[in-house]
Structure formats: structure tokens, C-alpha cells
């Protein structure tokens, strides 16, 4: 599954991987972030140590089980077709000890696009607009592994901060990749042969820290309050690479590609229970000034904040 591949990108940019027989664990701050287990019966990918995201595929390949929090999605493929069976595990209600329930820590996935694009840096050259994306496959995966909240006495308003790992894929919509021109140092496109071409993308990773003001409204559904949040997320670039896949194999190139070393974005969030919708509106261009097109990102997605790593 594509989402599994995106989650495993973190093994290349952050943390440490430890292999023991058929198990590989990726750790951040002494906590398991991703654990991959393979044996003769199944392949299991688990995000988080407790109630995180878990994907299990049996070796026959006819059943894939996806668990998000306490919900299970079983995708069964047999002679009568493909069926999806949804179940919900019962949990013991945990007592509220007066702590504010922030909505940062957890797992997020979104779609990348640009709300601003400017190619004036290429005026006087033969290079036109080239950073054309396949938006359906230009995805963001966020693993927010630390959260801290400061609230009022009634626990209705809180200031939430923490740390996270942000991995952004920009999938090109045509046979091309990007590189730095050795003469000018600018980012330039490199067009590829269509024969045997499968896909090409730019991946950029950040260590992120938010400052979000959250309000728990009086509106409720099944004992869950509707929450609204807004704030700023700062990011430190910790890696970038291009990846090209053809019939002959994969090619990866790791360099900075003129990516801005820092970014910040405005975020808006609305949540209810185990589900949060978010939009991150970039305030800094993806590339350094004058070294690439002025592309300012916008990410819209869905978050599952109610589990701990």
C-alpha cells in the first residue's frame, strides 16, 4: 500500500533502525515510531507503541487488516470479489484527571499543492513552468511524536506545542526530475525518456514544532467535544532527495536542491473525537530566493491525534 511506503520514508531521514531477526524498529527519543515484523504468516507494520496505526497483510495476500485507533478495517479479496469489513473495539472509559486534551500528537496524512507559484527567477532563460504535480500522489505524512499542552483551569482553552516529523512528497506529473545547474546553482528540470518510465518525485523532510491555540467548544457528539485550533508550525529541513523509478530500477539523489532550511506555516484545525481535519498554509517558499521557482506550499489533510507513540 502506498501509505505504508510513505510512512517508512522516516527510516531514511530520521531515527535509527534496529534489525533483530524478522523485526525492524525505528526509534525516536527511545520510543518506537515504526515497527515492521515479517514471518511465515504475515507482514505487520505498526506506527506507535500503543494504539497507533497498524497494517497486517497475510502471506497469501488475500487479507489486509488496517487498525486506526480502535477501528479495524479488513480488506478481503477472494473468489467473490473484494469486501471491506469495519469493526470497532470497545475500550474502557478513561477517567479525566483534569488534563487538557490537545490534538497535535499522532498521525496525519494530507495532499500537497501550491497556493503561490512564481517563475520570474527564470526570466531571460528558455525554462518555463516545470514543477507540475500529480496532486493525487503528492502526499504528506506527519508523525507527531511529542505533545505538551498548557490550559486554563476549566480545560476549555489550551496552548499546544510539541515535536513532529513532516515528510512531503512532490510527485511530478511528467517524465522529469530536478537538479542544481552546476554553473548558476539554480534548480533546473531534467526531462527523461518516456520509455520505461514509471514515476519521479522530490521528497523533503522537516523536524516540526507547533504553537497552536485550541478551544474545546460546548458542541458535543457521543461525549466528544468539537475542538477548533489555529496557530503556527515551524519546520527545520533535515533532508531532501529525488527518486526516479523505471523498468530498470530505482535511482535516488540526495542533496539540498536549494530547499529553504527553515519554514513556517499557518495551520487551522477542526476536530471531533478521533478525527481532525487540518489545513497548513505555507508562509515561506519551498526553495531559496532566486535559486528556484517561488512555490509556497498548501497542505490539506486528515489527522488521527488520539494515540501515543
Residue 291 DSSP class:
S
The residue ranking higher by pLDDT, 269 or 5, is 269
What's the pLDDT at 59?
A: 54
The residue ranking higher by pLDDT, 170 or 53, is 170
CA distances for 210 relative to 8, 30, 44, 109, angstroms: 23, 21, 31, 17
Q: What is the pTM (predicted TM-score) of this model?
A: 0.69
Show the beta-strand stretches assigned E in the chain: 16-20, 23-28, 31-38, 42-47, 53-58, 63-68, 71-78, 81-88, 106-118, 139-151, 157-171, 176-180, 187-191, 197-221, 224-246, 249-254, 262-272, 275-282, 294-304
* Residue 25 pLDDT > 60: yes
Residue 136 DSSP class:
G
The residue ranking higher by pLDDT, 27 or 149, is 149
The residue ranking higher by pLDDT, 219 or 239, is 239
Residues whose CB falls within 8 Å of the CB of residue 309, separated by 6 or more in sequence, listed in order: 28, 31, 32, 33, 47, 48, 49, 50, 52, 105, 143, 145
What's the pLDDT at 262?
A: 97
* Residue 51 pLDDT > 70: no
The Cα–Cα gap between 56 and 43 comes to 6
Q: For 151, list phi and psi in degrees, rounded to 5.
A: -130, 170
Q: Where are the domains of the chain?
A: 2-88, 106-304
Amino acid at each position: 500500500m502506498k501509505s505504508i511506503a510513505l510512512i517508512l520514508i522516516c527510516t531514511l531521514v530520521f531515527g535509527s533502525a534496529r534489525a533483530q531477526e524478522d523485526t525492524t524498529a525505528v526509534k525516536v527519543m527511545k520510543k518506537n515510531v515504526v515497527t515492521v515484523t515479517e514471518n511465515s504468516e504475515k507482514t505487520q507494520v505498526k506506527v506507535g507503541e500503543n494504539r497507533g496505526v497498524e497494517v497486517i497483510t497475510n502471506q497469501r495476500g488475500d487479507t489486509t487488516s488496517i487498525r486506526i485507533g480502535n477501528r479495524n478495517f479488513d480488506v478481503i479479496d477472494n473468489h467473490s470479489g473484494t469486501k471491506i469489513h469495519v469493526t470497532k473495539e470497545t475500550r474502557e472509559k478513561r477517567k479525566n484527571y483534569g488534563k487538557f486534551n490537545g490534538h497535535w500528537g499522532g498521525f496525519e496524512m494530507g495532499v500537497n499543492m501550491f497556493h503561490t507559484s512564481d517563475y520570474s527567477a527564470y526570466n531571460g532563460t528558455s525554462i518555463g513552468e516545470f514543477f507540475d504535480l500529480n496532486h493525487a500522489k503528492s502526499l504528506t505524512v506527519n508523525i507527531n511524536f511529542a505533545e505538551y499542552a498548557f490550559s486554563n483551569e476549566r480545560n476549555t482553552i489550551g496552548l499546544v506545542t510539541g515535536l513532529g516529523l513532516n515528510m512531503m512528497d512532490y510527485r511530478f506529473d511528467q517524465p522529469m526530475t530536478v537538479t542544481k545547474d552546476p554553473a548558476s546553482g539554480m534548480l533546473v528540470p531534467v526531462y527523461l525518456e518516456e520509455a520505461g518510465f514509471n514515476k519521479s518525485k522530490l521528497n523533503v523532510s522537516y523536524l516540526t514544532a507547533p504553537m497552536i491555540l485550541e478551544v474545546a467548544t460546548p458542541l458535543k457528539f457521543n461525549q466528544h467535544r468539537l475542538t477548533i485550533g489555529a496557530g503556527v508550525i515551524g519546520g527545520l529541513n533535515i533532508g531532501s532527495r529525488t527518486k526516479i523509478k523505471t523498468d530498470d530500477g530505482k535511482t535516488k539523489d540526495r542533496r539540498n536542491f536549494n530547499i529553504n532550511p527553515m519554514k513556517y506555516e499557518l495551520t487551522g484545525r477542526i476536530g471531533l473525537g478521533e478525527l481532525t481535519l487540518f489545513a497548513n498554509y505555507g508562509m515561506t517558499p519551498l526553495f531559496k530566493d532566486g535559486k528556484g521557482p517561488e512555490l509556497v506550499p498548501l497542505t490539506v489533510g486528515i489527522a488521527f491525534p488520539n494515540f501515543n507513540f
